[in-house]
Chains A and B, each alone.
Chain A
Amino acid sequence: MGVKKVGAKPQTLVEKIFFLDFIKGLKTTIKHLWKKVITVDFPYEVVVPPPRFRGIHGLRTVDGTEGPEFDGWVKRLKIKPPEPGETRCIACKFCQAACPVPELFDIQSEKLDVPEDHPHYGLKVMTVFNMDLSKCTFCGLCTQACPTDCIIMTDIYDLSAYTRRNWVLDKDMLTQIANDFVARRGKEKFDEKSQWREDQKLWPEYDKTREKLWDFNMPRLGPNYQDQTA
């Protein structure tokens, strides 16, 4: 078992008389005097969050990038087949089941009010989807539970509000957030089947503000494993 002893060594007389300890310390300080500023001037400058960032939630809509099992889930839960542009949510409440704070969700579905000969007779549609983000821990378990890749986490992190009610996002707001996020950064995060991309980057390389906090000495991102390609 490797045990390494560390212990104090007394100051030598030379160190004591000539204040060598202070001079050496000051060298480090003076070295830093000529360096560039590394603090990011928030909110005038912002660092773009990485693709995996767990910000506030969004509900994705049907846009032709659903997973292969999407239609199966829609059929199984007797949901009206969604048109392009409509929400992917099938009101299965898996997100609520996976949530450490389940009471933050309020999900309801309703049967469609159509005559018996209508093709959508007996099918349901999600009507209410409220999330109280003041209770949310941003752990991301809901996104992993979602069978249709509907609920996602975006890169938005400013949640401040004047009243507690503004933390509750409804289904239209969540859909809007997701649409905005997917249009902005969807390609970075998701592949054609709405899964996380295999070559998802550690952080966006186009972001130049990040260089500051890395002391203007950024690492260049390359493949992790020997069989991974750029």
Chain B
Amino acid sequence: MSWISVEKAKKLEERFGYPKVSESKGVVSVEVPKDKFIEFLKFLKEDKEYDFRMFLDLTIIDHGEKEDPRFQGVVILFSPSYQQRIIVKTWALDETLPTLTGLWKGAKWAEREAWDMFGIKFEGHENLVRMLLWETYPYHPLRKDFPLEGIKDTYLPSLNETLRGDSLEGMFNYDRMHTALPTMEDLEITQKRRMPVKTSQIVLNWGPLHPGTHGTIWFLFDLDGEYVKQCDIIIGQLHRGVEKLGENVNWQQFIPYTDRMDYIAAINENHAYVLAAEKLLGIDIPEKAKWIRTMMAELSRINSHLLWLGTYALDLGALTMFLYTFREREKIMDIIEGITGARFTINYFRIGGVFADLPYGALDAIEHLIKDLPERINDYETLLTRNRIWLSRNKDVCIITEEDVYDYGLTGAVARGSGVPYDVRKIDKYDAYGEVEFDIPVGEKGDSYDRYLVRMEEMRQSIRIVEQCVAKLRKMSKNDPYFFQTPDEKKLKVTIDGRGMKLPAGEVYASSDNPRGELGFYIYNKKDGLKAHRMRIRSGAFYNLQVFTKAIIGRPIADAITLLSTIDPVVGETDR
């Protein structure tokens, strides 16, 4: 398993005395007092026996208004040399915590998000401003005393429809009072606080509604001539509070919401969530469901990479690429539509399997597609890989080093492009990934060109996986179950539609390797319940985007497009 063993964690207890080790569903967490927090993390990071160099996630749990202490900080770390994860927890007394930015630079955004959502102050943080919401917003929405529908304090009748002078009321219309909205002044304050020290006369704004940013990301560049001296990113324009929703809807009902995070690869989003929930339930799903899921997840990865390739080339001026990749993409979407019923927001996976078996002819269509695909990918490569314009725009552009990968918690193709073979599919071996053969492509240098090559190779590897899945599924029977069959309905109820489904108490972290990096779900459940107590989404795109602010420094402004395209964030996932 990819978690530190309890014995090894107990050694920490012996050595320091103060850590308290607990284990739930294979997930090992260590609780330390607040004043020893930094010292302990530093030891974990630097000691060769533990070597938890890689930062994965930082979040807060709100235990409820009545509890004292109320807030708990949670840090998830990964050890690249032992392939293990660990959770370190501490109580945030007086609503403050010491900053981790001295140890991992990647904690900067995570701490800002924790401040934004929970109002926890991080002592020593260089510029603790809000992450997703605007600066003058008065509340901290992920606190348990903040209602799901928000606090409606702004009079906004213009959203209401009027018909012959009458305002309509009832089910068909909105309230006249709306939750707070940012004004232009609020946005100006936000922008100024993000970059308090300017070196040049002018700050270039890129976005939030620029076609090159592929979504609503707002970049601030402090320029020296054409070269970037300082950069910051304002995200949150697409923030919909998915974590809050996850704490307020039932288990299966949350799956459609995960679709809408990374809408390009919705299947992979569902996958990460159902893995976490199944881990918490402690069930093993039927063999057929595992193989179907693996196959669908890889099809979705190819689909996502094709969109990435098309838009990336389009941004760098190769328009035809976009048309070619969309032709192949259409075929994959057509197959996905036939199997699941939707092209985009798929909602096919369920906690316990998938909601329906493959329809008649699905495997034939997939086989037909993957027979054709390698040739198409070769076509794309002849257009781009050796092209001198492509080379000069990508080679040695925005190098991300191995050090950055561990510091910023980079995952997915961005980490692999920098030569780190970090792949959750190999580490966790979830579903059928333990039984299929595939290679992890890694780059040499960590420049944009390497990230491009890694993704191209990833598509070929995905085709390999799909081939193996189809061959395996062919041997199965039509009567094999595709959904978990509970031995005793009274003890354990798992339903396709999610009514009356309860998940036990405990805490889990499970992740899947998305096209955009590791998407992890940290679920903390206080008692058996219909809803989660804390649903943390560790978004790969969020952490990958953070390295943009570092990698762009010293590069000309034109490289921003290249870097953003090779990092390939989806705003739905960064903002959640």
Contacts and interface: CB of A to CB of B under 8 A. Distances in A.
B339 interface: yes
A2 B341 CA distance: 35
Given A11-B388, A54-B341, A141-B256, A224 B450 contact: no
Interface stretch (B208-216, B353-361, B538-546, B568-576): B353-361
Interface stretch (B3-11, B51-59, B133-141, B493-501): B493-501
B171 interface: yes
A116 to B, nearest CB: 35
Contacts of B384: 25
Interface string A11-38: 1000110001110110111001000001
A100 B249 contact: yes
A210 interface: yes
Interface residues on A, range: 35 or more
Contacts of B478: 198, 224-225, 227-228
A210 B426 CA distance: 38
Contacts of A227: 477-479
A98 to B, nearest CB: 4
A25 B477 contact: no
Contacts of B372: 217
B499 A221 contact: no
Contacts of B498: 98, 141
A203 B388 contact: no
B171 A106 contact: yes
Contacts of B497: 94, 98, 141-142, 144-145
A200 B388 contact: no
Given A6-B450, A132-B172, A21 B361 contact: no
A192 interface: no
B252 A52 contact: no
Given A6-B453, A137-B256, A16 B362 contact: no
B364 A219 contact: yes
A138 B477 contact: no
B223 interface: no
Contacts of A153: 341
Contacts of B490: none
Given A1-B426, A144-B497, A221 B449 contact: no
Contacts of B440: 1-4
A8 interface: yes
Given A25-B387, A139-B255, A226 B360 contact: no
B139 to A, nearest CB: 23
Contacts of B297: none
B386 A11 contact: yes
B361 A201 contact: yes
A145 B391 contact: no
B66 to A, nearest CB: 28
Nearest to A140: B341
Contact of A7 (B161, B359, B453, B496): B453
A132 B171 contact: yes
Interface string B455-466: 011000100000
A2 B327 CA distance: 31
Contacts of B334: 203, 210, 213-214
Interface in B405-449: 421, 426, 437-445, 449
B204 interface: no
A202 interface: yes
Contacts of A221: 360-361, 364-365
B36 interface: no
Contact of A164 (B161, B260, B445, B476): B161
B450 A203 contact: no
Given A4-B439, A140-B341, A164 B450 contact: no
A226 B474 contact: yes
Contacts of B379: 28
Given A50-B337, A106-B171, A145-B499, A100 B361 contact: no
A226 B475 contact: yes
B473 A224 contact: yes
Contacts of A25: 382-384, 387
B564 to A, nearest CB: 20
A164 B170 CA distance: 12
B292 to A, nearest CB: 10
Contacts of A165: 161, 168, 172
Contacts of B255: 139
Contacts of B395: 8
Contact of A202 (B254, B335, B342, B386): B335
A94 B252 CA distance: 14
Contact of B439 (A3, A24, A163): A3
B339 A202 contact: yes
Contacts of A98: 252-253, 497-499
17 contacts: A1-B426, A8-B391, A22-B387, A25-B383, A27-B382, A51-B359, A53-B341, A98-B252, A98-B253, A137-B345, A141-B497, A163-B163, A198-B360, A201-B359, A202-B365, A219-B368, A226-B475
Interface of B: 161, 163, 168, 171-173, 249, 252-257, 259-260, 320, 324, 327, 330-331, 334-335, 337-342, 345, 347, 355-356, 358-365, 367-369, 372, 379, 382-384, 386-388, 391, 395, 421, 426, 437-445, 449-450, 453-454, 456-457, 461, 473-479, 496-499
| Cβ-closest 10 pairs across A and B | A221-B361, A219-B368, A2-B439, A202-B338, A145-B497, A139-B256, A4-B439, A7-B444, A54-B341, A52-B341
Given A8-B453, A224-B358, 20 more contacts: A1-B421, A28-B379, A51-B359, A53-B342, A54-B342, A94-B497, A97-B499, A100-B253, A103-B171, A137-B345, A137-B347, A139-B256, A140-B355, A145-B497, A153-B341, A202-B361, A219-B368, A220-B361, A224-B361, A227-B477
